[in-house]
Structure 1
Amino acid sequence: MRVITAPLRALKPSGAPAAERLVVAPQDLRTTDPTVASDIYAGYFAFSGKVVAAGGKSPFLIDPPSAAWAEGLMGFGWLRHLRAAESALARANARALVDDWIGAWGRPRGVAWETGVMARRLISWLSQSPVILDGADRDFYRRFLRSIVRQSVRLQRQLGRTEDGERRLLGAIALAYVALCTGASAGAQRRASRQLADALERQILPDGGHVGRNPRTLVDLLTDLLPLRQVYANQGVEPPRALLNGIDRMMPMLRLFRHADGSLALFNGMSVTPADTLATLLAYTDARSQAMENAPHSGFQRIQARGALVIMDAGKPPPEEFSGRAHAGCLSFEFSDGPARIVVNCGSPPPGGDHWRQLARSTAAHSTVTVNDTSSCRFVQEGSPFLGSPILAGPREVPMERIARREPDPPAIGIEASHDGYRAAFGVIHHRRVLAELTGERLTGEDRIQVLNARGSQNGPDAFAVRFHLHPTVTAERSEDGRSVRLASTNGPAWVFDAGGMMVGIEESIFFAAPDGARRSEQLVVHGAYRTTPVVEWRFTRETAAGRRSAAQAESTPADPA
């Protein structure tokens, strides 16, 4: 946090809050890379998988290669890399680029003035204002502060017309920053705080999850909200209760999604985990704080038995206005053993992978059951670049309960749930039960397709597939009879999968959430027909030393000549 003391009375548009100076610069918790500053100085701008060489021109006058690239450029999040360079040249470059934008885009039009982009730019400018203003003259300071005021007035007007979603919450966060960082009147600060509180109360659920059900949204929100909380404290302004309570609830929820290797589970748009940012966020909490296990409002469950961990989606799709990037992964789960991730979902493609996005959202890209090669949700076919493709229909009822089993069975803890996403199309309900033995040696499950009515029992397709997508670090080796598969991980013990005597197939898959881009992977698939074989019982068993010796002996025993 840095206090800025240079006073200046800025010109302001009619109706704008008075802003005489910037009084504080919020901390930016996002990771930085000073080598990016060199690329920017050389005229190379890389966003969302696209690289553009400005060739001596202002990047703000170039036709953008994609809407996502334009959002990245106009949001100015890249200013933090110029700050990391810690050089007079980088600071001068930052100031020149901001001045270029003010000259080229100072009047509202196009993507630069879209609600979410404008909010991100305001937060970036305020956070990096020490870099932008270092060495600035009076005239630039006037233009810079006047632009902040103009943008905040425009943002305030647009929020009332912005559909309730993440962009609206981001806008409220940005306006709270502006009110505090410009030393606005107490009344203006109270109004901004009320607006922020209203948005947080609508979007942060009682268990700390975001209504859009994407783990990455929690990361992004906390990255903005934690510094905002500090700005309130530094300015001696009472923060809204919804801000304090929201942060306190979101932290355990964020831990719910976290595997032992530090990655977040891949649900509803989550892609590559920003490991450095996540570590920074978790450092703000008590190291002894526990992950939430039961999040009924968000629809997620976590069960852990020694090193074995299961994270499961047991909730309905988010409301339509928040579902633009949500996935059809109801009752999917991820399974890890210590640092070894074994069963995963495919995740969401990183920026630039839009041609894969709808495939990644399908039910088949998740470790759950597909019926008749159909997704459990129906999406809008043509979405907008800002809102995505909302979900039109999907599971409406997802009853769930946590269960515990004792003698005569081995002590275990688990989840039992069902969803009706296939009821309208095929007249069936998917039931799933997952049990983890407390020894951490076995994970068992059952998937059952319940036929409800004539539509489900009449002639026609009745195929279903139980899918378990494997992490790219897992190697699958099927037994000779095809009824079990040995899963060897590069950073953990081997596990053996079987489906109660049913045939287990190994098919190709794709993992979108690797730091170096999409990677080839595999999936285990058990096929069935729900009119004749409606139940699949499966299990993952940790391979013991005796099991390894038995397999080795079998391999070394000569085949019977007969």
Structure 2
Amino acid sequence: MSMSLADKPQIAVLTMQEAWRRLRRRLRNGPIHRLRFAGTAPERLAVVPPTLLQGDPFTAEAIYGGRFLLAGRLVEAGRASIFQVPPPTPEFSAELHGFSWLCHHAAVGDALAARNARALVADWLRFASGRLGGPAFEPEVAARRLISWLCHAELLLGSAEYDFYRRILKSLTSQTRYLRSIAQEAPAGLPRLTVRVALALASLSLPGPASRARAAAQHLADELDRQILPDGGHVSRNPAALAAILADLLPVRETLLAQGQPVPKGIYSAIDRMLPALRFFRHADGTLALFNGTGASDMALTAALMRFDETLGEPLANARHSGYHRLAAGGAVVIADTGCPPAVALSRNAHAGTLAFELSCEATRIVVNCGAPQPGRIELRRLSRSTAAHSTVTVADRSSSRFAGQPHLDRFLGSPLVPGPTEVLTEDVEADEAGGRILGFEATHNGYERDFGLLHTRRLELRDGGRQLAGTDRLVSTRRSRGQEDAGAATIRFHLHPQVSVETLGGFARLTMRGQTWRFSADRPFVVEDSILFADSAGPRRTLQIVVAVDPGLTPEVSWSFERLA
């Protein structure tokens, strides 16, 4: 759903804020201010921070041959430097200049990998470091590069010649000063937090006053207090953001402890909240639930992060501040989005998936959302964010939230989500039955009220020790439609994981996957249609979806269930 007239004031305010932020950053990068980034550099690093990223030796081998697969695009540099080749997309450029791919060279760990890594860094210093503007010096990209160089300093500097060693230290010092000057001008949310992480690591790794390291750690703690919710979720409501933050934050804590520096309470507290929250969003197969920008999971990283989780017991059933519910029994896991969209300024990757859910059982994914495609797939990104790409209800083929849909706004603001639902009311459900305890919830959102005068209520109950998921969807008229539009047909979608095979038999569908058999039934006719899973490391995959079409005026309530047979 595109932006309406009523939403334009919000977009206008966000546009002015972004223009002012960019102007302030440009002024700080002017010729006079650049003199502040020069100066003396230390003779050596005080410490090399650890890293939790695990690389792939085969990717390093491809890079040796000049083949860079970044952000879903393959570029062959040939005999030229990759930093002289025009990037195919902004996302490719961001990953290239962020240097996170150094982890692949570190995974090889031999002298050839180190020489190749040093050659690529030398190319960057020669061709990309002279100009502070452009994609290489976007705050988040510069922060990622600083983190990568520091965490892989042993690879880059272990057997480096003295001249290269000095050039790296001078560049690290200059980039740290640059980031320190523009930290407050970084975009809100994850980019600003990444800058604070980079500055904390740099203050520990580059010799300097202890007071500077303490101040950088405290600035990071303060930013964590602003961005990490009481239940451990991130303000963007993106489950994948937790893994990204923890992958950077845990090395900061470990480095502080190794250096005998005090760890601010805000860092300890954030980690202690985020680790259980990450477990909350994790299915039994190790992947994260596909909500609000989460794509293909880095399962090796998630497993590494989980080793730091010392909490015991099951995750929360209701992450109230983040706006999610989790039901778990007998190996079955249901994770559902029961919150309002994030603030407009934080919604560049948010999805219109209110009241969508995912179902898994014993390391097998069954019902999913389509998830986010790989970075750079602009043509798929908008589709993946629509309500129709989620296992929930759509009305008249509209999304429950609206997008700022003009191309110039997409380029300038990143296509923020203009909140549709302004209120989501939830009520937990717990009861006893002969087959065991019923776990569930009922939630109502008003995302369709303004256009169609309808409230969507979804009730989910996990019954029979996890062997049955019973659901009810209701569309209730409030007669408050501002546009007085006819709702027409509503559609309930259940996107299935590609590993699920479907056979329709009379009034139900039999779902088979990895030794399990489930039955789907509904009190309304349904069909099986094609779908697509965007969140796969190999690219989009074809799959299926179960679709129930109803007329809200004639059939305001539909009941359905997934029941395990074997």
Same topology, TM > 0.5: yes
Question: Taking structure 1 as reference, are residues 528 and 373 closer, same or farther at Cα in structure 2, changes over 3 Å only?
Answer: same
Shift of 1:543: 1.7
Match of 1:58? 81
Aligned residues: 529
One-letter amino acid matched to 2:444? S
Alignment deviations for residues 59-106 of structure 1 (CA, whole Å, 9 cap, x no partner): 111111111111111011111211222222221221222122112222
Match of 2:544? 522
1:473 matches 2:499: yes
Question: Taking structure 1 as reference, are residues 197 and 326 closer, same or farther at Cα in structure 2, changes over 3 Å only?
Answer: same
The answer on whether the counterparts of 2:451 and 2:485 sit within 8 Å (CA) in structure 1 is: no
1:411 matches 2:448: no
Alignment deviations for residues 525-552 of structure 1 (CA, whole Å, 9 cap, x no partner): 11111111100011122226xxxxxxxx
Give the % identical residues: 44
Distance 1:367 1:499 in 2: 15
Shift of 1:234: 0.7
Match of 1:92? 115
Match of 2:5? none
5 Å-filtered alignment, 1:444-523, equals 444-453=470-479, 455=481, 460-480=486-506, 483-489=507-513, 491-500=514-523, 502-523=524-545
The answer on whether the counterparts of 2:193 and 2:220 sit within 8 Å (CA) in structure 1 is: yes
1:81 matches 2:81: no
Match of 2:129 among 96, 106, 111: 106
Match of 1:136? 160
The answer on whether the counterparts of 2:41 and 2:170 sit within 8 Å (CA) in structure 1 is: no
One-letter amino acid matched to 2:260? G
The answer on whether the counterparts of 1:67 and 1:385 sit within 8 Å (CA) in structure 2 is: no
Match of 1:355? 379
Of structures 1 and 2, the one scoring higher in RCO (CA 8 A, sep 6+) is 2
1:437 matches 2:463: yes
One-letter amino acid matched to 1:223? A
1:70 matches 2:112: no
Distance 1:37 1:312 in 2: 38
Match of 1:323? 347
1:180 matches 2:204: yes
Which deviates more from structure 2 when the two are superposed, residues 329-338 or residues 380-389?
Answer: 380-389
Distance 1:466 1:478 in 2: 17
Distance 1:176 1:390 in 2: 29
Unaligned runs of at least 5 residues, structure 1: 1-11, 545-562
Shift of 1:507: 1.2
Alignment deviations for residues 462-514 of structure 1 (CA, whole Å, 9 cap, x no partner): 3211111111111121123xx3211111x1421111112x1011111111123
One-letter amino acid matched to 2:98? G
The answer on whether the counterparts of 1:337 and 1:492 sit within 8 Å (CA) in structure 2 is: no
Which deviates more from structure 2 when the two are superposed, residues 400-409 or residues 434-443?
Answer: 400-409
Which deviates more from structure 2 when the two are superposed, residues 101-110 or residues 525-534?
Answer: 101-110
Q: SS state of the match for residue 232, structure 2?
A: coil
Which deviates more from structure 2 when the two are superposed, residues 53-62 or residues 118-127?
Answer: 53-62
Match of 2:416? 390
Q: SS state of the match for residue 120, structure 1?
A: helix
Distance 1:333 1:497 in 2: 15
Match of 2:363? 339
Shift of 1:521: 0.9
One-letter amino acid matched to 2:437? P
One-letter amino acid matched to 2:44? R
The answer on whether the counterparts of 1:308 and 1:440 sit within 8 Å (CA) in structure 2 is: yes
1:399 matches 2:422: no
Which deviates more from structure 2 when the two are superposed, residues 166-175 or residues 143-152?
Answer: 143-152
Question: Taking structure 1 as reference, are residues 532 and 227 closer, same or farther at Cα in structure 2, changes over 3 Å only?
Answer: same
Which deviates more from structure 2 when the two are superposed, residues 411-420 or residues 78-87?
Answer: 78-87
The answer on whether the counterparts of 1:32 and 1:80 sit within 8 Å (CA) in structure 2 is: yes
One-letter amino acid matched to 1:277? L
One-letter amino acid matched to 1:433? R
The answer on whether the counterparts of 1:27 and 1:127 sit within 8 Å (CA) in structure 2 is: yes
Which structure has the larger Rg?
1
More helix by share: 2
Shift of 1:405: 2.1
Q: SS state of the match for residue 187, structure 1?
A: helix
Q: TM-score, normalised by structure 1?
A: 0.90
